[in-house]
Amino acid sequence: MIAMPAAESRKYETHFKCLFDSYKNRIYGYVLALTHSAYMAEEITQEIFMKLWLCRDVLADLNNPEAYLVSMARNKTLNYLRKSAHESKMLQELQSRMIRNTNNVEEQSLLSDQHNLLQEAVTSLSPQRRLVYQLSRDQGLNHLEIASRLHVSPNTVKNHLVTALKVIRKHLNTMNAAVLFLASFLRP
C-alpha cells in the first residue's frame, strides 16, 4: 500500500469512523435477522467493516453508503448461509456413512459370532438330532416331510427338534453368560 499524507489519512479515518458509528448497529441487526445467530452477525459485521477499512480511500466516492453497506451485508450473509448449508449437508452425509459403516461392521461381527456359536451348538447334537434340525431349519422341511424322508414317525421328529432346540438354547445361554462374565473383568 502506498503511503499517503497524514492529513489525507486522518480524513479517511474520520470518514470511516463516521460510517462505522452510524451503521454498525443497523448492519448487525440486519445480519442477525438473516442468520439468527448473534455470533455470526457479529463476525459478518466485523468482516464488512474490515473490508470497508481496507478500501477506505474510496469511501468518499460512495453516493449511498447505506445501500452499499446493506448490499455488502446481504452478499456476505448469503455466502455464509450457502457455505453453512453446504457444510451441514456434507457433515450429515459423512455421519450417515460413518454410522452405516460402523453398524455394518459391528452387525457383521455379531452375526458371525452368533453363527459360530450356533454351529458349535448344532455340532454338539447327536447325528440323528443334528440331521432333523438341519432338515427343519436349513432346508425348511416340516415334520411330515422330515418323517417321510428319514422313515420315522412325525412324533419322533417333533421330539428330536424339541430336544435339539433345548440343547442349542442351553449352549447359547451358557456361552453368553461366559462372555458377559469375562467382559466384566475387562472393563476399566
Residue range 127-168, pLDDT digits in tens: 999 999 889 888 888 999 999 999 999 999 999 988 988 888
What is the per-residue pLDDT for 151?
A: 93
In a domain, 111, yes or no: no
Give yes or no for a contact between 30 and 66, defined as CB atoms under 8 angstroms apart: no
Q: Check residue 101 and give its pLDDT.
A: 56
Q: Nine-digit cell at 30?
A: 440486519
pLDDT at 21: 92
Based on the domain organization, do 15 and 87 belong to the same domain?
yes
**Cβ 144 vs Cβ 110: under 8 Å:** no
Reply yes or no on whether the pLDDT at 90 is more than 70: yes
Burial class from Cβ neighbours inside 10 Å (0-12, 13-18, 19+) for residue 35 reads middle
The count of domains in the chain is: 2
Q: Is residue 99 part of a domain?
A: no
Is residue 42's pLDDT more than 90? yes
Residues 58, 129 within the same domain: no
Q: pLDDT-based confidence at 13, cuts 50/70/90?
A: confident
To the nearest whole number, what is the mean pLDDT of the chain? 82
- Pick the last residue of a domain from 92, 114, 145: 92
Q: Say if 150 falls within a structural domain.
A: yes
Q: Which of 99, 117, 121 is nearest to 165 (CA)?
A: 121
Residue type, 149: R
Most confident of 42-46, 62-66, 113-117, 168-172: 42-46
Residue 129 CB burial class (10 angstroms; 0-12, 13-18, ≥19): buried
Give a yes or no: residue 60 inside a domain.
yes
CATH of the domain at 158: 1.10.10.10
**Do 34 and 87 fall into the same domain?**
yes
- For residues 131 and 68, membership in a common domain is answered with no
- Residue 99 banded pLDDT, cuts 50, 70, 90: low
Q: Is residue 106 part of a domain?
A: no
Q: How far apart are CA 88 and CA 75, in angstroms?
A: 20
Does the pLDDT at position 60 exceed 80?
Answer: no
- For the record, the C-alpha cell of 3 comes out as 503511503
Range of 182's domain?
A: 124-186
- Choose one of 72, 92, 112: the last residue of a domain: 92
Q: What is the pTM of this model?
A: 0.47
Per-residue pLDDT band at 47 (split at 50, 70, 90): very high
pLDDT at res. 121? 81
140 lies in the same domain as 80 = no
pLDDT, average across residues 83-111: 72
Using CA atoms, how far residue 27 sits from 23, 42, 67, 79, 130, in Å, is: 6, 9, 11, 16, 79
